[in-house]
Amino acid sequence: MINKKIRINQPVIDEMEIEEVSKVLRTGMLTTWHGSGEKVSEFERSFASYIGVEYAIAVNSGTAALHTALAACGIGHGDEVIIPAMTFVATANVVLIQGAKPVFVDVDPETLCMDPEKFQNAITENTKAVIPVHVYGCSAEMDAIMDIAEDKGLIVIEDAAQAHGTLYKDKKTGSIGHMGCFSFFASKNMTTGEGGIITTNDAEYARRCRLFRTHGQEEAHMAVMPGLNYRMTEFEAAIGLVQLSKLDKLNAIRARNAEILSKYLKNIPSIITPTFPSYIKPSHYVYTIRVRGGPKKSRDALQKYLVENGIEAAIYWPNPVHLHPLYMGLYGYQRGSLPVSEEASDEVLSLPVHPKVSIDDLHYIVEKIVEFFAGDF
């Protein structure tokens, strides 16, 4: 029986977060109707400064961040929003919830982020926005995407749910598009338990985001636009402030861990290790390999073997979003529609590189992968 358990993701929480939450609980002020309590406001200012933007609007999930951003820029019925097929379904669902149509495009075979050429080819007279997704902590090709969007008058909303601290040509993701959206779910590089945030340099988008997160109320019981309750609590913001102060240090540990895995896995013929353009500094949300071992040494077989040996390897994502039953039924997508995304979803396997993974753990992961390809299973 295997006693070892290396989780795919694990938050780094210590006494600092516990103490800050305790302080909030002692005040009795856990939230405010407008979502801008003392801690939330401080967290927004700190996160905006870290990303390098004027405004940050804290909400209660990454999905809420995406939804709020779409609502703030007026996305609605009859509009099309272009998104990559390699993403979590939330990126598409919020478009659908707003009454707009998500249009899926294929990804770059190296980074698995949106292919700018495929984005350009998908633009129609109904296209209003694009959501490039920074997958696994790697930035999308933002210069090309921004050039195309500006030429066509499109809004760019970065999905940076997996890219806290990622750099693209020395700019942080979330600071390049018209808005950026982050998740603080427990698995992310920094967490508030649940939670999210929108970043922007546009004062009007910021104003509308703040309205939307609190039922569209400009003042209590005076709604001026549709909205929902997407507020972040004071104790979540207290956790976020501590987590943000640790982020760069913890990302450096992720980078070290990723480097160690690459050193030992890059010479295994059946594995393609992740590589990044020189101008991108990834934040390594997870370390995602591609497995091309044939039927007997498939990705799924390797995942099963690792899990059996206490290594929580995960598949992000087993199906690109255009092949979810919902979107196949709505828009007629089928296998073969977006071949790069489909091939990637059959091959990707994510390994743990979070800061609680020790160097001994990394060597154990490598040992088990080598053992799998050498053995007769």
Q: Percent of the chain, pLDDT > 90?
A: 95
| Average pLDDT over every residue of 338-352 | 98
> Selecting from 3.90.1150.10, 3.90.105.10, 3.20.20.80, 3.40.50.880, what CATH number does the domain 248-374 have?
3.90.1150.10
**75 near 128, Cβ under 8 Å?**
yes
* CATH code for the domain defined by 15-243: 3.40.640.10
On the 0-12 / 13-18 / 19+ scale of CB atoms within 10 A, 161 is: buried
CB-facing half-sphere around the CA of 250: CA atoms within 13 A: 22
Give Dmax (Cα) for the chain. 69
CATH 3.40.640.10-classified regions of the chain = 15-243
Pairing of strands 155-159, 127-130: parallel
CATH 3.90.1150.10-classified regions of the chain = 248-374
pLDDT score of 376: 65
Average pLDDT of the chain to the nearest whole number: 96
Give the distance from CA 300 to its chain's centroid.
23
pLDDT score of 377: 56
The per-residue pLDDT for range 166-212, each reduced to its tens digit, is 999 999 999 999 999 999 999 999 999 999 999 999 999 999 999 99
Residue 80: what residue type? Answer: E
Report the alpha-carbon distance of residue 376 to residue 296 in Å, rounded.
9
Residue, of 32 and 191, whose pLDDT is higher:
191
Is this structure's pTM higher than 0.95? yes
**107 near 85, Cβ under 8 Å?**
yes
Query: Across the beta sheet with 80-84, what order do the strands follow?
Result: 55-59, 196-200, 179-183, 155-159, 127-130, 80-84, 101-105
The per-residue pLDDT for range 322-339, each reduced to its tens digit, is 999 999 999 999 999 999
